[in-house]
Amino acid sequence: MDMVITVCGNARDEVCPIWPGAPLTGHWGIDDPAAITSSPKATRAAFEVAYSVLEARAKAWLSLGFEDMAPEDHQAEIDRVGDSMLVM
């Protein structure tokens, strides 16, 4: 395992399991769209926002050319991408 990204909005301060192989870790938290139950329309909108944010973060990470980056810079970039697109 090379990298683990948590996305649950309240997982930042939780203790995560021990991952095999000492992967890079990041937290790209978003609000849980399943928690929106006021109406089907609101739930759908929340899922669309969550998807859009995670898609943008994944594209940002993949566009960095991390293959050419120094390994010690990978962690800082994972954190920067997660912090760069604040949600709701």
Q: Look up residue 69 and give its amino acid.
A: M
Which residue range(s) make up the domain with 36?
3-84
**pLDDT score, position 9:** 75
Q: Please state the pTM of the whole predicted model.
A: 0.77
- Tokens (6 digits) for 73: 């810079």
The domain tally of the chain equals 1
Neighbour-count burial of 30, counting CB atoms closer than 10 A to its CB (0-12 exposed, 13-18 middle, 19+ buried): buried
**pLDDT score, position 88:** 42
> Over its length of 88 residues, how does the chain's per-residue pLDDT go in tens digits?
788 888 887 666 677 777 888 888 888 888 889 999 999 999 999 999 999 999 999 898 888 887 888 878 888 888 888 887 654 4
